[in-house]
Amino acid sequence: MKTIKVIAGSLIIALVGMGFSYYAGSSTWVAPKSANAIKNPLKGKASATAEGKKLFTQMCAICHGNKGKGDGMAGMSLNPRPTNFTKSTVQSQTDGALYWKITEGRAPMASYKAALKPNQRWQLVNYIRTFKKIKK
């Protein structure tokens, strides 16, 4: 009986470990298709983008870097590494998809559903859009 418990426990640990390593190593993060339909109520508003920059500097730059390239000091040890917002794979996503990702999070990125109000999350989306103008 003790041997069965040890084997079962080892199997559970192995399966959980394999699942975590697969998830942590996955670099593709796709928002659900329904997120694409979410419209940005602050699109094109310069004041919202300016507020987004302030939020980004306070909360995001530590991992994503000051220029949004995913090279912030705290992000260097994360797996997966923080997103590089200057890449076309990010900039080609809809505002709704970016908003959904900020809202829901995915380890190691936290969910900001409780920490930020909806307008603040949209402000961040607006600011993230400014990174498409930065040369790599």
pLDDT for position 132? 87
Q: What is the mean pLDDT of residues 73-89?
A: 94
- Cα-Cα-Cα-Cα dihedral of 42, 93, 104, 55, to 10°? -50
CA pair distance 109, 23, nearest whole angstrom: 13
Return the CATH superfamily for domain 2-133.
Cytochrome c-like domain (1.10.760.10)
Q: Which residues contact 58 (CB under 8 A, 6 or more apart)?
A: none
pLDDT for position 135? 53
pLDDT for position 58? 97
pLDDT for position 6? 36
Boundaries of every domain in the chain:
2-133
| Structure tokens that stand for 77 in this block | 């040890």
Tens of pLDDT along 18-69? 333 333 444 689 999 999 999 999 999 999 999 999 999 999 999 999 999 9
